[in-house]
């Protein structure tokens, strides 16, 4: 096996385990919606407070996202990833002992959010280290499926776990999953070793200026797109099973959870396909795929809480994943490229993750407020308006990959002539 083949094999091993790190943290993030009816009854709360239980953990995600990108450069992917998994597992374990105390449960969700905020930076940063820009689409597509894999699994297992051991069984399941992944993460995930290309290394440490990463307007634009996407998708995901249960299944969350699980299972190959497709698209044209995704997404968002005929459910389950799934793969792939220099890719991903956490924080409680106050149908309006704005903003996102590749090629040519 050649050195190039060894590097490629090592890169994919790292990416797959890093993906499972994201999968484990997403489980901890997404464990409320599949059992939201039980949680609302146990804690005697309405849709708005239940929305805060879904999203409050993002407070620490916002705080840790940018520092995580800096700390990863200092301490490496292994240490930061393992730390993230420890925070999430400990928070979930403590939460399992909460008995009807909403305040204490919210605190444990914030602890979990520390881990989620860190892993969401580490995963894409590792990919940007191991893969050159033109080949990041497929691994970013795999990474982009972490949320869908989690939602598929938890909506499938949520009710059976509750029947087995109450809502606490869901908390213990996510905790154990995280601990198992932690072992593999410590074993295999790391930065590229000496002698292997590091595509996000860029300037040496004494020439690295952290604040330079904040000067890219394109990074802030894609961050706004991230805010809007998570506002919409978590506003949808938190309540869709409850809506279907109340509207079509006579309160049977097991059936409606199964429908949601199938929906996200369909989305998994979709995001990976979009990642493969992005490898075929010119670097400077990838943002148009995000624009198209947002524009089409408005259609299913408008319909999501307006369905009144059971015959609409199956077509919706099939169509929704294709329209939602385009967006996250694009922003994960493009985010490192919005940095004006490769060494600032990690910080660009950190900034994006702040935006993703802001959207996740706001989406469920805002949607819950509209549901409680104005009804299900009206709750679709802020989601649709947000998606339209997202489509417009995505059109102005710029990638610096081609410029950086040109600069690198010129530098290599100059070095060759100097010899």
Residue 402 has pLDDT above 70, yes or no: no
What pLDDT, in 10s, does the model give residues 132-152? 878 888 888 888 788 889 988
What's the whole-number average pLDDT of the chain? 85
- 26, 147 Cβ separation under 8 angstroms: yes
Residues 299, 322: Cα–Cα separation, whole Å: 12
Q: So what's the pLDDT on residue 209? A: 57
Q: So what's the pLDDT on residue 409? A: 54
Residues 211, 107: Cα–Cα separation, whole Å: 31
214 pLDDT band, cuts 50/70/90, is confident
Q: Which residue has the higher pLDDT, 404 or 178?
A: 178
Q: So what's the pLDDT on residue 203? A: 45
Residue 369 has pLDDT above 90, yes or no: yes
206 pLDDT band, cuts 50/70/90, is very low
Q: Which residue has the higher pLDDT, 163 or 67?
A: 163
Percent of the chain with pLDDT over 90: 41
Residues 221, 225: Cα–Cα separation, whole Å: 6
Helices of type H across 136-252: 137-144, 146-165, 167-188, 217-247
Which string of DSSP letters, residue by residue, matches 260-322?
Answer: HHHHHHHHHHHHHHHHHHHTTS-GGGTHHHHHHHHHHHHHHHHHTTT--SGGGHHHHHHHHHH
3-state secondary structure of 395: coil
Lowest model confidence (mean pLDDT) among 45-49, 107-111, 335-339, 354-358:
45-49
- The answer for residues whose C-beta is within 8 angstroms of residue 292's C-beta and 6 or more apart is 326, 391
Q: Looking at domain 3-189+212-418, which of 1.20.1250.20, 3.40.50.280, 3.90.245.10, 2.60.40.10 is its CATH number?
A: 1.20.1250.20
Q: So what's the pLDDT on residue 1? A: 47
What pLDDT, in 10s, does the model give residues 222-256? 999 999 999 999 999 989 999 999 999 888 888 89
HSE-CB for 24 with a 13 A CA cutoff: 32
Residue 367 has pLDDT above 80, yes or no: yes
Q: So what's the pLDDT on residue 414? A: 52
3-state secondary structure of 372: helix
Each domain of the chain, given as residue ranges in start order, spans 3-189+212-418
What pLDDT, in 10s, does the model give residues 1-60? 454 555 578 889 988 999 999 999 999 988 988 888 888 888 888 888 887 887 777 787
Residue 183 has pLDDT above 80, yes or no: yes
Query: At how many degrees (to 10) do helices 345-374 and 380-394 cross?
Result: 160
Q: So what's the pLDDT on residue 228? A: 97
373 pLDDT band, cuts 50/70/90, is very high
Which string of DSSP letters, residue by residue, matches 24-77?
Answer: HHHHHHSSSGGGHHHHHHHHT--HHHHHHHHHTTHHHHHHHHHHHHHHHHHH-H
């Amino acid at each position: 096996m050649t050195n190039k083949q060894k590097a490629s094999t090592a890169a994919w091993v790292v990416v797959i385990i890093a993906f499972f790190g994201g999968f484990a943290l997403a489980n901890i993030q997404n464990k409320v919606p599949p059992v939201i009816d039980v949680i609302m009854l146990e804690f005697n709360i309405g849709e708005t407070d239940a929305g805060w239980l879904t999203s409050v953990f993002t407070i620490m995600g916002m705080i840790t996202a940018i520092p995580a990108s800096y700390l990863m450069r200092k301490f490496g992917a292994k240490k930061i990833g393992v730390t993230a998994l420890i925070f999430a597992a400990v928070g979930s374990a403590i939460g399992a002992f909460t008995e009807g105390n909403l305040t204490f449960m919210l605190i444990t969700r914030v602890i979990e959010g520390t881990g989620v905020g860190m892993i969401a930076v580490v995963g894409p940063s590792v990919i940007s280290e191991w893969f050159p820009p033109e080949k990041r689409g497929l691994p970013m597509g795999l990474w982009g499926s972490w949320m869908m894999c989690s939602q598929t699994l938890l909506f499938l297992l949520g009710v059976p776990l509750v029947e087995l051991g109450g809502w606490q069984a869901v908390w213990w399941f996510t905790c154990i999953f995280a601990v198992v992944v932690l072992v593999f993460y410590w074993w295999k995930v790391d930065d590229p070793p000496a002698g292997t290309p590091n595509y996000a290394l860029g300037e040496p440490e004494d020439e690295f200026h952290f604040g330079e990463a904040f000067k890219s307007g394109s990074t802030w634009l894609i961050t706004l797109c991230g805010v809007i996407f998570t506002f919409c998708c978590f506003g949808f995901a938190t309540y869709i099973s409850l809506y279907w249960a109340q509207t079509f299944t006579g309160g049977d969350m097991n059936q409606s959870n199964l429908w949601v699980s199938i929906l996200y299972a369909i989305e998994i190959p979709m995001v990976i396909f979009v990642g493969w497709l992005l490898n075929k698209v010119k670097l400077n044209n990838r943002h148009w795929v995000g624009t198209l995704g947002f524009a089409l997404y408005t259609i299913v968002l408008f319909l999501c809480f307006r369905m009144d005929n059971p015959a609409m459910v199956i077509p919706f389950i099939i169509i929704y994943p294709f329209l939602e799934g385009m967006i996250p793969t694009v922003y994960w792939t493009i985010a490192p490229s919005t940095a004006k220099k490769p060494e600032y890719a990690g910080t660009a991903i950190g900034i994006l993750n702040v935006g993703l956490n802001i959207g996740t924080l706001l989406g469920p409680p805002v949607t819950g407020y509209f549901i409680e106050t104005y009804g299900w149908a009206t709750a679709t309006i802020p989601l649709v308006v947000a998606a339209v704005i997202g489509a417009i903003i995505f059109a102005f996102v710029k990638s610096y990959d081609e410029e950086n590749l040109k600069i690198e090629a010129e530098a290599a040519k100059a070095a060759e002539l100097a010899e």
